[in-house]
Structure 1
Amino acid sequence: MQALLDAIAAMPLPTDARRIFHGRGGRFPGCEQWTLDAYPPVFVLTSFLPAGDETEAQLAAIGAALAQRWEALAPGQPLNWVFQCRNEALRTQGRTETRLMAGSVPDPHVVTEHGAQFKVHVLRGQNHGLFLDMAAGRRWVHDYAAARRADRYGLKVLNLFAYTCAFSVVALQAGAKQVVNVDMSHGAIAIGQQNHQLNGIATGAAFLPHDIFSSWGKINRSGPYGLVIVDPPSYQKGSFVATKDYARLMRRLLDLLAPGGHALLCLNAPELGLAFLQDQMRELAPELRFVERVANPPVFADVDEGRALKVLVYQAPELPGQGG
């Protein structure tokens, strides 16, 4: 646990939402169970192992380290932190154990990332409203949209498995003309609409609270798209299982993309490596050219990058004479 305590002792004052410590990457032996995130003004400590006899002592040591560092960073300000246990037994039941350890959590709780604002909820559920490991993916989308803001017809984006629509917010902030957000969760889409309102975005976003696989007619009518973002859950019973359903999306990409358009394919499944996406793309969408893998934020470094979050960029063929 010493590596976690060392990270706390050295952390700067967090302003944006970010990960502080990533034991899950296996780079700190003995700390594989721990992650520490900042959703200012709240810290969220997560354990991926069942609570044992030693857990309370560990939590006391971590709490003391947080208190000491917080007093140095923000003298006189209250320390707010939450502990969540996500062991395998709880995860398979879709449950977590969450405790407020000190201070309080704002309601509503709004965090920032590169100037954008997002609503989060750290006291319930496994997903807090903003996936911190996708920060580099959001920056890529922002830069992609910014580079095309002067295009003749404007950039049109399809955001599949939109969740709380963070990709949509950053794309529209950067100058995209339109983003179509699709997610079967009405609750997530409602938060996505609030995220647009938080950022003063009143036009350009469409919200479809539908099952993607039964909504291709509506999705196609708004296309073709200069950018298609695919960021599904790796496994969500009854809605999406990557090993069988990702292929169904890949077969659609060429029809969804405008000539020269790009697809951003995301997968956060440690058991499925790069080859899972790349081999299927070569087979099912051979017309699309692999461009790059977007590097994850350095704090998420893994001893095996094949297990880490995969964010791959592909490009559809240009029209003849359109340029390379």
Structure 2
Amino acid sequence: MHALLNAIATMALPTDAQRIFHGRGGLYPGCEQWSLDAYPPVLVLTSFEPCSDEVLATIHSALAARWQDLAPGQALNWVYQCRTEGQLSETRLMAGEVPEPHVVLEAGARYQVHVLKGQNHGLFLDMAEGRRWVREFVQERRALKPELKVLNLFAYTCAFSVAALQAGAHKVVNMDMSAGALGIGRQNHRLNELPTGTDAGASFLAHDIFNSWGKITRGGPYELIILDPPSYQKGSFVATKDYARLMRRLPDLLASGGHAMLCLNTPKLDTAFLKDQMQELAPELQFVERVANPAVFADVSAERSLKVLIYKTPG
């Protein structure tokens, strides 16, 4: 636990949502179970193995001491979540309080999060560089394509849409099976004073993607398509069999010179899983680059970590 305690003792005062310690990357032997995230003004400690109250007390003392240095007189707010494989997660408020609504910043954008319920808190911190890439892509392309359209599949709470519209996209189509997640997505757009509508701004479609290709096709072609599915969600999406169903649609949905962002977050599948299938199913699309993950998410093997690959059509 020494590396975690050292990260706490040396952390800066967080202003944006970010990861502070990433034991899951395997670079800190003995700390593989731990991650520490900041969703200001709340810190969230996650353990992927059960831990004792004595260990939590030690971590609390470290957090309290550092917080006194960083923010004298301000309350320490922190949440503990235990995720043990095969068991329901446990979430506890350990000190202070969580604001309601809880809104955090990232790169100037505002997002609503929920750290006291569920395992996904509303904003995936490891995808920060993916959102940065989307911003830069849209900023560069909008001069050539003022009515630039983006298709955001498996949109969740629509953080990619916020990034794209802030960068100047004309239209973003967000699609996800979860109406609840899209509801938070709408709120994220309101928080950032972004337009919503059928002709411009963001639209939100609570549909099964695999049953909605007609609607998706009519909205295209798209200058950017973002695919960020779960790696395994029973009854919804299993990457090993369902990713191919997405890939083969890309050539018909992308505009000339359009780009696709393919995301995959599981240690069980590597970049070759995506590249080999793309070569077979959409060979006309050219591989451009792999987007680097935030430095704090460094892993002993890049193939275990989040994979974000960019492809483009000719033109």
Q: Alpha carbons of 1:208 and 1:62: their partners in 2 closer, same or farther (altered >3 Å)?
A: same
What is the CA distance between 1:152 and its match in structure 2? 4.0
CA–CA distance in structure 2, aligned partners of residues 14 and 208 of structure 1: 34
Q: Give the conservation status (yes or no) of the 8 Å contact 1:148–1:154.
A: no
CA–CA distance in structure 1, aligned partners of residues 118 and 145 of structure 2: 43
CA–CA distance in structure 1, aligned partners of residues 119 and 144 of structure 2: 39
CA–CA distance in structure 1, aligned partners of residues 53 and 277 of structure 2: 46
Q: Which residue of 2 aligns with 1:194?
A: 187
Q: Which residue of 1 aligns with 2:262?
A: 265
Say whether 1:120 aligns with 2:117.
Answer: no
Aligned match for 2:76, one of 74, 79, 84: 79
Q: Which residue of 1 aligns with 2:234?
A: 237
Unaligned 5+ segments in structure 1 are 319-324
Q: Which residue of 1 aligns with 2:25?
A: 25
Q: Give the conservation status (yes or no) of the 8 Å contact 1:148–1:176.
A: no
CA–CA distance in structure 2, aligned partners of residues 83 and 152 of structure 1: 46
Residue type matched to 2:3 in 1? A
Q: Which residue of 2 aligns with 1:306?
A: 303
Q: Which residue of 1 aligns with 2:177?
A: 184
CA–CA distance in structure 1, aligned partners of residues 57 and 195 of structure 2: 46
Aligned pairs for 1:92-107 within 5 A: 95-107=88-100
Query: SS of the residue aligned with 1:88?
Result: coil
What is the CA distance between 1:153 and its match in structure 2? 4.1
Residue type matched to 1:262 in 2? H
CA–CA distance in structure 2, aligned partners of residues 46 and 298 of structure 1: 19
CA–CA distance in structure 1, aligned partners of residues 98 and 27 of structure 2: 31
Query: SS of the residue aligned with 1:36?
Result: strand
Say whether 1:161 aligns with 2:154.
Answer: yes
Q: Which residue of 2 aligns with 1:9?
A: 9
Superposed CA deviations along residues 109-141 of structure 1, whole A, max 9, x for unmatched, are: 000000000000000000000000000000000
Number of matched pairs: 311
Runs of 4 or more, structure 1, over 3 Å off, are: none
CA–CA distance in structure 2, aligned partners of residues 58 and 302 of structure 1: 25
What is the CA distance between 1:56 and its match in structure 2? 1.3
Q: Which residue of 1 aligns with 2:134?
A: 141
Residue type matched to 1:89 in 2? G
TM-score of the aligned structures, taking structure 2 as reference length: 0.98
CA–CA distance in structure 2, aligned partners of residues 57 and 237 of structure 1: 37
Range with greater deviation from structure 2 (259-268 or 55-64): 55-64
Residue type matched to 1:191 in 2? I
CA–CA distance in structure 2, aligned partners of residues 184 and 24 of structure 1: 29
Q: Which residue of 2 aligns with 1:173?
A: 166
Query: SS of the residue aligned with 2:86?
Result: helix
Residue type matched to 2:305 in 1? A
CA–CA distance in structure 2, aligned partners of residues 188 and 199 of structure 1: 17
* % identical equivalent positions: 72
Say whether 1:287 aligns with 2:280.
Answer: no
What is the CA distance between 1:202 and its match in structure 2? 2.0
CA–CA distance in structure 2, aligned partners of residues 152 and 82 of structure 1: 45
- CA RMSD, 1 decimal: 0.7
Residue type matched to 2:71 in 1? A
Residue type matched to 1:219 in 2? I
Query: SS of the residue aligned with 1:141?
Result: helix
